[in-house]
């Protein structure tokens, strides 16, 4: 039995990213049999695997529930735009979902990523150097779309059980392709090795570690650091310990979509807090963080 999160609404229309693999097949089946009436299975044929891609598309065309199929020559797209296959595939899928969103009047896209995908992602990102345990979010707004992952707490084994219990047909997962080799090796080599060495399943420990809420996540709101124009209000900021001032500056720059927020940039921004410090600090992209009338804000 797969639990669905309470924020999923049976009458809301959703797009569903549908590869035809186990995970998306289980999610689609579970939703439609739980009374969800407006699910559109959206399948993009990446044209990366010849006959196998065509086979997957035929599988989708035989669905008894609504579907939408797109075609994209991901390989050519990657060459034209000098992108890796993985990045090209992601961009093509995004554009496809945007077309589906316009056609069906919903910006909500369900994805079937599950708890084991999440654990693999956490470990992969950690080791790739993303400064901590960064995983997938249940809700991710990107551009006009919002991606939703209702299965993030469901284990792969539960999905496999569900597929067996309901005797569902599915396509072999396309992520078994060479271009996803790194992620695949985490699944098929690293996780089983860790399980063997530790003599226990490493997934729950990883998920629990990542779930630790950052207590300073809402530092700007919690300490009422923004004025009505969303500028940083210095008299309040000055009353906080330095470690928290730094976190607030980081969150502020992030909110303002400053790219590449380095420790050095935070330290330089901190000098704006002293009244006789410099009146502005250079930011990447020709912008400046300025102090004026006891407020910090970004301008040219």
> What 8-state DSSP symbol labels residue 179?
G
Q: How far is the CB of 71 from a copy of itself (least distance, A)?
A: 32
Return the sign of the alpha-carbon dihedral for residues 39, 44, 49, 55.
Answer: positive
Query: Interface with a copy of itself includes 241 (CB under 8 A)?
Result: yes
What is the rounded CA–CA span in Å between residue 42 and residue 158?
Answer: 23
Nearer to a copy of itself, 129 or 286 (CB): 129
Query: Interface with a copy of itself includes 226 (CB under 8 A)?
Result: no
In the list 84, 218, 282, 299, the residue contacting a copy of itself (rule: CB under 8 A) is 218
- Please, which of residues 97-126 interact with a copy of itself by CB under 8 A? 126
The partner residues of 6 in beta bridges, in order of sequence, read none
What is the rounded CA–CA span in Å between residue 252 and residue 224?
Answer: 12
User: Which window, 22-30, 77-85, 105-113, 183-191, contacts a copy of itself (CB under 8 A)?
Assistant: 183-191
Query: Interface with a copy of itself includes 217 (CB under 8 A)?
Result: yes
Nearer to a copy of itself, 124 or 147 (CB): 124
Query: What mask of x and - would describe binding to a copy of itself in positions 53 to 92, judged by CB under 8 A?
Result: ----------------------------------------
Q: With CB under 8 A, what is the number of residues at the site for a copy of itself?
A: 37
In the list 182, 267, 274, 282, the residue contacting a copy of itself (rule: CB under 8 A) is 182
Helix (H, G, I), strand (E, B) or coil at 17: strand
What is the rounded CA–CA span in Å between residue 273 and residue 208?
Answer: 37
What is the rounded CA–CA span in Å between residue 41 and residue 63?
Answer: 9
Contact 238, 271 (CB under 8 A): no
Query: Interface with a copy of itself includes 144 (CB under 8 A)?
Result: no
- Contacts of 131-138 with C-beta under 8 Å, sequence gap 24+, read 133/206, 133/209, 133/210, 134/210, 135/210, 138/5
Contact positions toward a copy of itself, by CB under 8 A?
Answer: 126-133, 182, 185-186, 189-190, 193-194, 197-198, 202, 204-206, 208-209, 212-213, 215-219, 222-223, 241, 243-244, 246-247
């Amino acid at each position: 039995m797969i639990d669905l999160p309470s924020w999923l609404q049976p009458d809301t229309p959703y797009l569903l990213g549908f590869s035809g693999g186990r995970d998306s097949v289980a999610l689609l089946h579970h939703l439609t049999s739980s009374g969800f009436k407006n699910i559109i299975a959206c399948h993009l044929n990446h044209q990366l695997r010849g006959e196998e891609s065509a086979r997957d598309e035929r599988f989708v065309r035989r669905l008894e529930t609504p579907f939408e199929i797109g075609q994209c020559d991901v390989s050519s797209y990657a060459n034209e735009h000098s992108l890796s296959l993985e990045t090209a595939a992601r961009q093509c899928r995004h554009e496809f979902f945007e077309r589906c969103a316009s056609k069906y009047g919903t910006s909500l896209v369900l994805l079937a990523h599950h708890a084991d995908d999440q654990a693999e992602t956490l470990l992969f990102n950690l080791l790739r150097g993303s400064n901590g345990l960064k995983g997938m979010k249940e809700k991710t707004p990107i551009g006009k779309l919002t991606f939703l992952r209702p299965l993030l707490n469901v284990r792969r084994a539960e999905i496999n059980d569900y597929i067996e219990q309901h005797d569902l047909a599915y396509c072999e997962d396309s992520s078994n392709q060479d271009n996803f080799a790194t992620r695949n090796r985490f699944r098929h080599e690293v996780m089983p090795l860790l399980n063997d060495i530790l003599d226990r399943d490493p997934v729950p420990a990883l998920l629990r570690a990542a779930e630790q809420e950052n207590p300073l996540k809402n530092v700007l709101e919690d300490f009422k650091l923004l004025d009505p124009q969303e500028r940083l209000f210095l008299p309040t900021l000055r009353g906080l310990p330095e470690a928290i001032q730094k976190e607030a500056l980081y969150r502020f720059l992030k909110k303002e979509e400053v790219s590449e927020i380095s420790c050095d940039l935070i330290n330089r921004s901190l000098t704006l807090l002293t009244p006789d410090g410099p009146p502005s600090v250079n930011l990447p992209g020709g912008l400046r963080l300025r102090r004026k009338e006891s407020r910090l804000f970004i301008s040219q």
